[in-house]
Amino acid sequence: MRAHPRAGHVVKQLEGYRAFEPLPLPPTPPIVYDDDLVRRLSEADQHVGRLDALSNALPDAELFLAMHVRHEALLSSRIEGTQCTLDDVIASDLSPDDPTSLDVGEVVNYVAAMRHGVARLATLPLSNRLLREVHEVLLRTGRGAEKTPGEFRRTQNWIGPPGCTLAEASFVPPPVHVMNDSLHQLETFLHSGDLPVLVMAGLAHAQFETIHPFLDGNGRVGRLLVSLYLHQRSILTKPVLHLSAYLEAHQRDYFTWLTAVRQDGDWEGWLRFFLSAVSASAASAATTATLINQMRDRDRQRLLGAGGQRNELALLDRLYGQPIVNSVWVERELGVAKATAHKLLARMEAVGILRESTGFKRNRLFRYDEYVDAFNALAPAD
């Protein structure tokens, strides 16, 4: 492990191992904005602005956000090794009190952590305290629940192949006393506002991953940090920009550029990668928002053309937040009798909006295929 003086220093600790101790942000010498970096920053700003406008124009923006957060939660957890599908996560909301698989539970926790972070930003600025709260929700159950949720680490951690020792690690974050100072400096930087917002977000994410302040969940909290920061800075009215699809597809490049910051001081190279991730992710999300708006208008007309009644239109509206349903859910959400719920589902199936996705008559599930599949296809192009 080596370090570049623009990023930090590798320091031998009293225990004999060497750890990376990052320098405060912003980098010194300052970021060099060559033509390529300026172009990428401009493109990213444009894509994010378009996404914000489109997401706010959706008639059911909060429902779209709920699905978007589920999708991001799934992909962010998948990067960490969680294995489940978007259908699993959506269906789990039909019976939130029922036990779910460990993998689904981790994704559900991520959704709750995002919602908690956004809600807290109304009264608490983005801070180390807020990140601890988000982490506590993220690891409240399942794998990692024993890794002190909501608390910064009090011991040394390290990164490397499974089972490797501290001496064999590929990267050793700062020791605890330096970590605490670095977190304070990062918090100060987040509120300085001296650089373009997307540059601030990119630098902060890389620094957070270098500090690695938790025993588990650093990657997920680091990705949440970007969404929460852009929301706090009012770049996005709603946190609909998520990078996990891009980072999952470019995982090797992601780690290569983070390493290049630490070893070569190449903040500009990292920012080029980060801004490309922002552009691609925002463009993909904007395309999906447009598609869903068109889908909603078309399916409302389809129902009206077939003599759709108030309950059918109300059910269609609710499908944008819960696109896999059963009759019990319909009864509860619409306040209708059991027989009416069955008739509504049959009607929606007959006009081609819903499809029965199970053959179990006692627990029949109905899926809004086109809507769910639009999110399953949400993956940024290169």
Residue 304 lies in a domain: yes
- With a cut of 70, say whether residue 346 has pLDDT above it: yes
| 298 and 270 assigned to the same domain | no
**325 and 196 share a domain?**
no
Q: Domain tally for the chain?
A: 2
User: Between helices 102-120 and 61-79, what is the axis angle to 10°?
Assistant: 130
Do 307 and 225 fall within a single domain?
A: no
pLDDT of residue 101: 63
Do 272 and 323 fall into the same domain?
no
Find the mean pLDDT for residues 321-335. 94
Contact 228, 35 (CB under 8 A): no
Same domain, 238 and 125: yes
In this prediction, residues 17-31 reach a mean pLDDT of: 97
Same domain, yes or no: 168 and 59: yes
CATH number of the structural domain spanning residue 347: 1.10.10.10
Residue 135 in any domain: the answer is: yes
Tell me the residue range of the domain where 262 lies.
35-287
On whether both 186 and 320 belong to a single domain, the answer is: no
Residues 262 and 366 grouped into a single domain:
no
> From CA 125, how far away is CA 128, in angstroms rounded?
9
Host H or E run for residue 177: helix 176-190
**What integer pLDDT is reported at residue 360 of this predicted model?**
47
Please tell me the predicted confidence (pLDDT) of residue 169: 92
Among the candidates 256, 287, 318, a domain finishes at 287
Question: How wide is the angle at C-alpha 318 spanned by C-alphas 313 and 321, nearest 5°?
Answer: 150
How confident is the model over 136-193, as pLDDT tens digits?
999 998 776 788 999 999 999 999 988 899 988 999 999 999 999 999 999 999 999 7
Within a domain: residue 3? no
Do 273 and 325 sit in the same domain of this protein?
Answer: no
For 8, phi and psi rounded to 5 degrees? 170, -165
- Which of 287, 317, 334 is where one domain is finished? 287
Instruction: Tell me: do 45 and 145 sit in the same domain.
Output: yes
Q: Give the domain-ending residue among 240, 264, 287.
A: 287
Q: Are residues 123 and 225 in the same domain?
A: yes
**Can you give the pLDDT at residue 55?**
84
